[in-house]
């Protein structure tokens, strides 16, 4: 049995989709369902059971679950605007520690979600080399809660036994419940559909024109392939970036969305809030040398071009009668 925590969420449900494509359905979904529509992410997916996250950890630690082959731990509070640090630490740090210690003790494969947010403003680079972890300076409490688990695992020499993945700007089907945390791709689609234009922050740096701020946008289907590659190869451990390794501008992204919709691109540049200016990232790009290294993870598959990925997302999901089901999860 494979356990997926956060299985009703964006990346968690996409991982179920990825496993289903392999005809794997002996899956235990772990999540905390509240008042949003994330339950719809499980429509048309195959799994054996669904359990609350607190009930799961209690059963796991007392040995009340049948054989667990591996855990894909995607569950967390992922709201970068969350200010309750104690809540973040309980969900993102302490809970992950309990899972890691159980997996190490029982020789069970664990892949956990760290975050590219741990890189802070990017001034220390975006390398996933462990020796550089202490140089990173997260900019918010969410990133801090992820970063201190990475440090804890590193200091206790557990990174040689588990896998951490740092997701960059993932977009794609099943992110609809995420509110303000939804991708800029989805925000662009919704704004263009509703108003005919897309709002972007102005640039306050001379080296970046308005809209030329850059992100490493990665399609969720590519992210799933990367995570499952790391899960499959048990000799691979440590932290890996999950991205394309190619930064693209917000204007590139918005143009691809408008083109997929058959619309003319219109952009309104707006003022950036004062409380955001000091924490705003102008550039992110995953260093994926470790993931691609033939002597390391040896991930060979090329990621989908941004324009092709957005075209698939828009036409086969967002513009269909039911984006949760789309035109099939091909």
So where are the chain's domains? 2-171+216-244+286-303
Q: Do the beta carbons of residue 150 and residue 239 sit within 8 Å? A: yes
Res 328 pLDDT > 80: no
What fold is seen in the domain 2-171+216-244+286-303? Rossmann fold (3.40.50)
Question: Could you say which DSSP state residue 317 is in?
Answer: I
E strands present in the chain:
2-5, 27-31, 49-52, 70-73, 109-113, 163-167, 169-171, 198-201, 214-215, 217-219, 238-242, 248-249, 267-270
Tell me the two tokens of residue 109: 């494969």
Distance CA 147, CA 133 (A): 8
**Per-residue confidence at 83, pLDDT binned at 50, 70, 90?**
confident
* Residue partners of 128: CB distance under 8 A and separation at least 6: 166, 238, 239, 240, 241, 287, 290
Res 15 pLDDT > 60: yes
Distance CA 247, CA 226 (A): 18
Nearest alpha-carbon partner for 50 in 14, 78, 16: 16
Q: Please state at what angle helix 95-106 crosses helix 141-155, rounded to 10 degrees.
A: 30
Q: Do the beta carbons of residue 98 and residue 151 sit within 8 Å? A: no
Question: Could you say which DSSP state residue 220 is in?
Answer: H
What mean pLDDT do residues 20-47 have?
93
CA 6 from centre of chain:
11
Let me know if 263 is a catalytic residue. Answer: no
Distance CA 232, CA 70 (A): 10
Q: What is the pLDDT of residues 270-325, one digit of tens each?
A: 999 988 887 788 999 999 999 999 999 999 999 999 999 999 999 999 999 999 88
The vertex-177 CA angle with 174 and 179, nearest 5°, equals: 125
Distance CA 19, CA 165 (A): 18
Point out the catalytic residue in the list 97, 137, 178, 289.
178
Res 329 pLDDT > 70: no
* pTM for the model: 0.95
Strand order in the sheet with 109-113: 49-52, 27-31, 2-5, 70-73, 109-113, 163-167, 238-242
Let me know if 97 is a catalytic residue. Answer: no
Point out the catalytic residue in the list 95, 112, 142, 299.
142
Q: What is the pLDDT of residues 176-206, one digit of tens each?
A: 999 999 999 999 999 999 999 999 999 999 9
């Amino acid at each position: 049995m494979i356990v997926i925590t956060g299985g009703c969420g964006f990346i968690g449900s996409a991982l179920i989709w990825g496993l289903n494509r392999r005809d794997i359905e002996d899956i235990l979904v772990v999540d905390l369902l509240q008042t949003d529509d994330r339950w719809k992410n499980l429509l048309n997916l195959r799994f054996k059971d669904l359990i609350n996250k607190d009930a799961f950890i209690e059963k796991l630690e007392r040995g009340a679950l049948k054989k667990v082959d591996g855990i894909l731990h995607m569950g967390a509070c992922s709201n970068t605007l969350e200010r309750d640090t104690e809540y973040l630490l309980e969900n993102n740090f302490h809970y992950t520690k309990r899972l890691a210690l159980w997996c190490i003790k029982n020789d069970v494969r664990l892949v956990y979600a760290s975050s590219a947010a741990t890189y802070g403003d990017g001034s220390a680079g975006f390398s996933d080399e462990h020796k550089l972890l202490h140089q990173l300076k997260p900019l918010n409490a969410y990133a801090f809660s992820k970063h201190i688990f990475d440090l804890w695992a590193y200091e206790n020499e557990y990174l040689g036994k588990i896998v951490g993945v740092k997701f960059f700007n993932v977009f794609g089907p099943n992110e609809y419940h995420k509110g303000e945390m939804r991708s800029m791709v989805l925000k662009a689609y919704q704004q263009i559909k509703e108003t005919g234009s897309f709002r972007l922050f102005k640039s306050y740096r001379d080296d970046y024109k308005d809209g030329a701020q850059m992100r490493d946008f990665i399609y969720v289907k590519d992210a799933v392939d990367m995570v499952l590659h790391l899960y499959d190869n048990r000799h691979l451990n440590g932290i890996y970036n999950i991205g394309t390794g190619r930064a693209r501008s917000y204007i590139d992204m918005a143009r691809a969305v408008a083109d997929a919709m058959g619309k003319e691109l219109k952009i309104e540049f707006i003022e950036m809030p004062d409380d955001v200016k000091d924490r705003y990232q102008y550039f992110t790009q995953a260093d994926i040398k470790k993931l691609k290294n033939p002597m390391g993870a040896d991930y060979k598959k090329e990621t989908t071009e941004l324009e092709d990925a957005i075209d698939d997302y828009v036409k086969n999901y967002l513009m269909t009668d039911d984006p949760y089901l789309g035109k099939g999860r091909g």
